[in-house]
Structure 1
């Protein structure tokens, strides 16, 4: 009979799971220029191809809670990692071997399903580990995702520079990540330990006011992060007429600042509480964006980017923790909040693109500062609910 893993072992496994998810995301994105050239696609056609992954995510996110309740977080992470690995391979073969866009779209669709269910499951598991540890740790799990994406991007640059075929790149990284994910999920918390006093809920998470308000808060913070992912490099290049490498450097500074905020944030959260820290994050993000847009010089803009990155660091992971405060309802609530929040990653890029065409790429970033107003008004929902007799 096997013994249950220690909580610290599970913590390490969850962090590795986050890092591997980020690694695979960056693996996909880093070779998209090669996918575009092999299939001879325009930018708009590539965008249509990538919608396949978005459709997979949109369809699976609302169902993720029930999938987790049925198959456990560990089983869902395993299944999601298989779908992601298979999706990457099929996408690579469709794009660069048979050069048939519909096959690449099928692979991206599978990737979208796998990564979204995996994402919700690892957040549910991370929240349970955080609850049992009795201290904030979720932002560090999300920092692990960022570190994994940085590693994946670096590997992608090397693979592209060496001319390694996309399908081979996707196969090797996907297989290694799959093996490591299957092993790490094996040390997640045992099901019988997690649900020892669970009762079947009667009210849908989608009808709970607190869950919906947390979802709105996460939506705002996801837009802050997603806008930087999609448009910050271009805003630096277009707004300050700089070489491309300077734009990439601006985005890199943002990622480093956000990762540093997630690594150090738990100390502040445990000392001051969620609401005050998130209010401060809202202010920092708004001020940072305004400095970046109106600073007037490149050095001042980079200062604004650092402040923006720190401000954007904690809203999303703290929202996931808040949604999972009650372990009995964690899967359903995290699924609902993630579905609302990820709408920012799906709808944000085209909307910001249209705004950028009208007012300029740099000026369009002001919308991020505006969104920090509703974010600051909703952070009260992230406070842990009062539970009589609680010793946490």
Structure 2
């Protein structure tokens, strides 16, 4: 069994000036800001267009499939023009999509906004992780947990905004966020020159990468269920007002941020396998508490515990996949292609988390959250893939 190192030899560690990593962290932050800005307004979207759980589930399904297509598109653009170009195009698409959703006057117009947004999410997902891997290899150490903490920070900001603007019309709550990705279009991202025929992946050990990808699927299953259905859970199960349902998201994100900031210390103390295993067990316990929650405060505490458990799984998975693909010595275009394809595991997890949770929980969301409660334990036999050397 191939094991994956989650740290680099000390002799290879280099410090990076803020000018190199801040733009990439900013891209993650913008993505988190917009994603959580959208999900915390799901109940408002339901009311605006009179959508039931099934209708909302179909929209989420379309968004997941479009995001997968966007990730493929990012791979093609990165192979020819570099991941920085793919990231800028994705950021532009986010601006268009968010504005389109926030200002949509009809279901048809909403579909156009969802299409632009879904494709752009996939592009930014893939390209920002390509940029993060490039930074890790330049620094010679694990950086993705900290960069993904930028995503979480953006999400926390979006949650606070949602709480402050609770009850505002959808156009006022969502559309102004479209300006944020535009601000990053001129940022100095990681650049690299690659020939058009670079990025050959025939020799990539996809079997081993798929094992790590399974852990990513399980993380995004939980993460998307919490982000998408958490506010709905508090609204429909515990009767919180639409303006207050962001309390499902804020504790989850704050705990996730703490887990990601403390990832280096946790890995040093416990090692990769035990860190991942402990996180899965905490997540299962948190979801059990959520399913049985007798009140909104207990449900909010369950979401916080959930974020603490799963916070480091995604960034460590991308780092592991890049190492299996060849590590710092591999061709940059090859690594970008692997990251883009590995990112597809993200959407498989999102599909389970958003769609299956909605379908199973269409009559009772407690049953919907029982699905990830059981499936998250599938990470336990995969934890050995994160062993350090």
With the shorter chain as reference, the TM-score category is 0.7 to 0.9
Question: Is 1:341 aligned with 2:351?
Answer: no
CA distance in 2, matches of 1:69, 1:353: 36
Change in CA separation of 1:349 and 1:88 when aligned onto 2, cut-off 3 Å: closer
- Find the counterpart in structure 1 of residue 191 from structure 2: 190
Question: What corresponds to 1:201 in structure 2?
Answer: 200
* Structure 2 spans left out of the alignment, 5+ residues: 1-15
2:273 corresponds in structure 1 to 275
CA distance 1:104–1:230, change in 2 (3 Å): closer
CA deviation digits over 1:17-68, x for unaligned, max 9?
1111122223444555565555555554455445543332132223432322
Aligned equivalents of 1:268 and 1:307: distance in 2?
A: 16
1:127-156 per-position Cα deviation (integer Å, ceiling 9, x unaligned)? 221232233321222221122123234445
**DSSP 3-state at the match of 2:262:** helix
Q: How does 1:1-392 map to 2 (within 5 A)?
A: 7-31=17-41, 39=49, 44-93=54-103, 95=104, 99-156=105-162, 165-166=171-172, 170=175, 172-178=176-182, 180-184=183-187, 186=188, 188-192=189-193, 200-203=199-202, 208-235=206-233, 241=238, 243-244=240-241, 248-294=246-292, 303-325=301-323, 326-327=327-328, 328=331, 329-356=334-361, 360-383=364-387
Report the TM-score, using the length of structure 2 for normalisation.
Answer: 0.80
Distance in 1 separating the partners of 2:293 and 2:44:
36
Change in CA separation of 1:337 and 1:38 when aligned onto 2, cut-off 3 Å: same
Give the match's secondary structure for 2:185: helix
User: 8 Å contact 1:52–1:106 — kept in the other structure?
Assistant: no
In the alignment, the residues of structure 1 paired with residue 110 and residue 387 of structure 2 have an alpha-carbon distance, to the nearest angstrom, of 43
Judge conservation of contact 1:218–1:319 (CA < 8 Å) in 2.
Answer: yes
- Give the Cα–Cα distance (whole angstroms) in 2 for the partners of residues 7 and 89 of structure 1: 34
Measured at CA, do residues 223 and 43 of structure 1 come closer, stay the same or move farther in structure 2, by a change above 3 Å?
Answer: closer
CA contact (8 A) 1:81 1:114 kept: yes
Higher relative contact order, structure no. (Cα contacts within 8 Å, ≥ 6 residues apart): 2
> Any conservation in 2 of the 1:55–1:109 contact (CA below 8 Å)?
no
Q: CA RMSD in A?
A: 3.4
Q: Which moved more, 1:31-40 or 1:133-142?
A: 31-40
Call closer, same or farther: CA 1:82–1:157 in 2, change over 3 Å.
same
Alpha-carbon separation, structure 1, partners of 2:387 and 2:76: 25
Distance 2:295 2:371 in 1: 20
Matches of 1:181 and 1:12 in 2, distance apart?
11
Q: 5+ unaligned residues in a row in structure 1: which ranges?
A: 1-5, 387-392
Where 2:141 maps in the other structure, the secondary structure is: coil
**Deviations 1:206-249, CA, capped at 9 Å, x for gaps:** x711121111110011112222223334545666x564478643
Residue 9 of structure 2 corresponds to which residue in structure 1?
none
Mark the CA change 1:106 to 1:52 in structure 2 (over 3 Å): closer, same or farther.
farther
Equivalent residue, structure 1, for 2:6: none
SS of the residue corresponding to residue 70 of structure 1 reads helix
Q: Aligned with 2:252: secondary structure?
A: helix
